[in-house]
């Protein structure tokens, strides 16, 4: 049997890590976070990777790790994972189940507004909303399952 891999995608602040950990527990699968894997590889945290090595380097490592992902489990991705076409093609493969978490913009914004994420730090609310709108079709393109709620029990019911 093909190993089971469930990728959680969506904008920053949608709850990929929070819900992913709980979903993994429920499904008795391991949980992974792609950002942690990138931090391990770069031996720097995400903010320092952006500051010291730049976004291009971050995207390169993100893509290398995603495209070589072998472990079964629930995998939370970073919000920008869908930017590269090759990443989207990988996610769309039949071997993977991709769950797009997409609560309303207001919910998302309230969660990220005061965060120290590098993509948030130098952007206004309008600029973040523009980024959100630009990315929505990319998440949609990759999604097998779309979940607009925030309640774990509702998410679990989809599995």
- Judged by CB under 6 A, the chain residues 120 through 159 that form the site for ligand S3P are none
- Beta-bridge partners for 125: none
Q: What stretch of H or E contains 76?
A: strand 73-76
Q: What stretch of H or E contains 100?
A: strand 96-101
118 near ligand S3P, rule: CB under 6 A: yes
Q: Which of 8, 12, 65, 143 binds ligand S3P (CB under 6 A)?
A: 12
Cα torsion through 34, 65, 6, 134, rounded to 10:
70
CB of 46 or CB of 75, closer to ligand S3P = 46
- Judged by CB under 6 A, the chain residues 21 through 50 that form the site for ligand S3P are 35, 46
Query: Rounded to whole angstroms, how far apart are CA atoms 130 and 43?
Result: 31
CB of 115 or CB of 157, closer to ligand S3P = 115
82 near ligand S3P, rule: CB under 6 A: no
Secondary structure class of 10 (helix, strand, coil): coil
80 near ligand S3P, rule: CB under 6 A: yes
Part of the chain binding ligand S3P (CB under 6 A), chosen from 94-102, 112-120, 121-129, 142-150 = 112-120
Distances (CA, A) of 98 to 8, 28, 155: 6, 17, 13
Token pair 């930017």 is at which residue? Answer: 83
Part of the chain binding ligand S3P (CB under 6 A), chosen from 22-30, 93-101, 114-122, 142-150 = 114-122
Q: Tell me 53's DSSP state.
A: I
Part of the chain binding ligand S3P (CB under 6 A), chosen from 24-32, 75-83, 85-93, 145-153 = 75-83
């Amino acid at each position: 049997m093909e190993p089971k891999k469930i990728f959680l995608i969506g904008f920053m602040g949608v709850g990929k890590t929070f819900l992913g950990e709980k979903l993994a527990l429920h499904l008795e699968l391991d949980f992974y976070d792609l950002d942690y894997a990138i931090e391990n590889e770069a031996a720097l945290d995400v903010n320092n990777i952006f500051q010291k090595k730049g976004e291009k380097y971050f995207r390169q490592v993100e893509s290398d790790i995603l495209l070589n992902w072998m472990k079964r489990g629930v995998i939370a991705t970073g919000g920008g994972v869908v930017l590269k076409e090759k990443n989207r093609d990988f996610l769309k493969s039949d071997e993977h189940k991709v769950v797009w978490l997409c609560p309303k913009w207001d919910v998302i914004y309230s969660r990220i507004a005061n965060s120290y994420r590098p993509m948030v730090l130098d952007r206004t609310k309008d600029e973040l909303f523009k980024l959100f709108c630009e990315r929505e079709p990319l998440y949609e393109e990759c999604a097998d399952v779309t979940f607009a709620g925030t309640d774990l029990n509702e998410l679990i019911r989809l599995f």
